[in-house]
């Protein structure tokens, strides 16, 4: 056994789980329920709908968000847009005031209390059958609402998610996130057919108002109120569906620092909600695929991301040190001579084959997600960035979030 074989063995269980989960998602995607969900067209029913837009210091994006909500292809007498200013300290209230005379718009101003309080204020101000959240930095396609409404034709459905991607990605990091989001489109679509969704993202997720009220409204949920509400809906025995054709675009962090901060909040919220508040769901067959597969794999994925990163780092250090050791005593003229390349000497191991297979399968799933959602634009830069950058950046927020959960550290949202 070579010196690197021992550490590599630690990675095998995590890679097996990743391959198993990807195979499960692809098979579920090909299943009859998934095909029927993709064939489902826009709904002919028109229940009353309220789109709630919670705002905190969003003066630069809120106008475009409101305009996209008002442009939804839906009967105007059945659609209202509720703007909730959660104690903004910039020009957000002034921008919101421009829409105050629109009969479809209702403006609410309140003291800062967090996004969950803004959502509850919006829900309290409407009698609409369905209420949805649209983040103030997100923009929705005109036909998205009818796609979402179709999911509620099934009485058991209490919430529905949309197909989210990045709005006009500019730099390489945003293109990477766009590929990641489109990968998420396929995951949500496949998992929704087995009721395996554990989060209803802020951009254009909808709920039956009666269910939200019966469950007690939104809670802070460790700064991830959308995840906490989804888990509460699942625990109550309802279904969370997905509309893969309902396209919504959201702004993405522009640099690594902002991205790590955002994802640290998401990951700590997942861990704290699942491990503290909803531990009874883990491994519980009563909750089907969510309890027996999705939540356990979600937790293990955080550990695997950290383990695989540290393993790769240790192998890199080992090979550098080994190379330096081999070159000790070798003449500099030979050491720095033009290298030759021979495919025969490429170090191929089962670990590397599994890792490459996992990455390639993920890239295929990204392509499928783009096709299913009909998301426009090229993905070439995003796919390349995801393949070569994501694995180096993600471990930092995974390690930071894990450390925060272990130590009990709390970080501010804004």
Secondary structure string (H, E, C) spanning 38-64:
HHCCCCCCCCCEEEEEEECCCCCCHHH
Distance CA 320, CA 186 (A): 39
Tens-level pLDDT at each residue, the chain (414 residues): 455 555 567 777 888 888 899 999 999 999 999 999 999 988 889 999 999 999 999 999 999 999 999 999 999 999 999 999 999 999 999 999 999 999 999 999 999 999 999 999 999 999 999 999 999 999 999 999 999 999 999 999 999 999 999 999 999 999 999 999 999 999 999 999 999 999 999 999 999 999 999 999 999 999 999 999 999 999 999 999 999 999 999 999 999 999 999 999 999 999 999 999 999 999 999 999 999 999 999 999 999 889 888 887 876 776 677 667 666 655 555 555 555 544 444 455 666 777 788 888 999 999 999 999 999 988 999 999 999 999 899 999 999 999 999 999 887 755
* Three-state DSSP class for residue 256: helix
So where are the chain's domains? 1-47+129-326+342-414
Q: Is residue 268 a contact partner of residue 401, using CB atoms and an 8 Å limit? A: yes
pTM score, whole prediction: 0.90
- Quote the tokens at residue 366: 């990204």
Among 144, 139, 164, residue whose Cα is nearest residue 65: 139
Give one DSSP letter per residue of 224-273, joined into a string: -HHHHHHHHHHHTT-EEEEEEEEEEEE---SSHHHHHHHHHHHHHHHHHI
> ∠ CA(170), CA(175), CA(176), 5° rounding?
145
What's the pLDDT score for residue 13? Answer: 82
- Quote the tokens at residue 352: 């590397």
* H or E, element range at 136: none
Q: What is the CA radius of gyration of the chain?
A: 23
What's the pLDDT score for residue 110? Answer: 96
């Amino acid at each position: 056994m070579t010196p690197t074989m021992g550490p590599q063995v630690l990675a095998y269980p995590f890679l097996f789980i990743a391959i198993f989960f990807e195979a499960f998602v692809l098979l579920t995607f090909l299943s009859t329920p998934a095909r029927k969900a993709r064939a489902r067209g826009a709904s002919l029913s028109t229940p009353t709908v309220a789109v709630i837009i919670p705002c905190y210091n969003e003066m630069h994006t809120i106008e475009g968000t409101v305009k996209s909500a008002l442009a939804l292809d839906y009967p105007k007498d059945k659609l209202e847009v509720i703007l909730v200013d959660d104690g903004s300290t910039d020009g957000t209230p002034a921008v919101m005031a421009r829409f105050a005379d629109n009969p479809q718009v209702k403006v609410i101003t309140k003291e800062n209390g967090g996004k969950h309080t803004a959502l509850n204020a919006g829900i309290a101000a409407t009698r609409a059958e369905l209420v949805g959240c649209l983040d103030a930095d997100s923009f929705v396609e005109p036909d998205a609402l009818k796609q979402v409404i179709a999911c509620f034709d099934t009485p058991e459905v209490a919430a529905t998610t949309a197909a989210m991607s990045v709005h006009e990605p500019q730099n390489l990091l945003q293109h990477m996130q766009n590929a990641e989001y489109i990968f998420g489109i396929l995951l949500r679509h496949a998992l929704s057919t087995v009721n395996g969704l554990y989060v209803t993202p802020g951009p254009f997720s909808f709920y039956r108002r009666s269910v939200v009220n019966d469950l007690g409204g939104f809670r802070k949920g460790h700064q991830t109120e959308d995840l906490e509400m989804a888990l509460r809906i699942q625990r109550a025995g309802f279904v969370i569906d997905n509309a893969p054709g309902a396209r919504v675009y959201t702004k993405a962090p522009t640099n690594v620092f902002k991205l790590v901060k955002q994802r640290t909040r998401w990951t700590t919220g997942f861990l704290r909600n699942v491990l503290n508040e909803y531990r009874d769901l883990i491994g519980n067959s009563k909750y089907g695929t969510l309890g027996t597969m999705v939540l356990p794999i979600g937790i293990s994925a955080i550990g695997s991301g950290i383990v695989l990163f540290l393993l790769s780092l240790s192998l890199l250090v080992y090979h550098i040190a080994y190379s330096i050791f081999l070159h000790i005593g070798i003449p500099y003229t030979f050491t720095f001579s033009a290298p030759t390349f021979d495919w025969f000497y490429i170090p191929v191991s089962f670990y590397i084959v599994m890792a490459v297979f996992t990455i390639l399968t993920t890239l295929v799933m990204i392509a499928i997600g783009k096709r299913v959602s009909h998301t426009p634009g090229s993905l070439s830069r995003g796919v390349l960035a995801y393949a070569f950058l994501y694995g180096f950046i993600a471990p930092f927020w995974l390690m930071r979030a894990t450390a925060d959960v272990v130590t009990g550290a709390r970080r501010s949202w804004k």
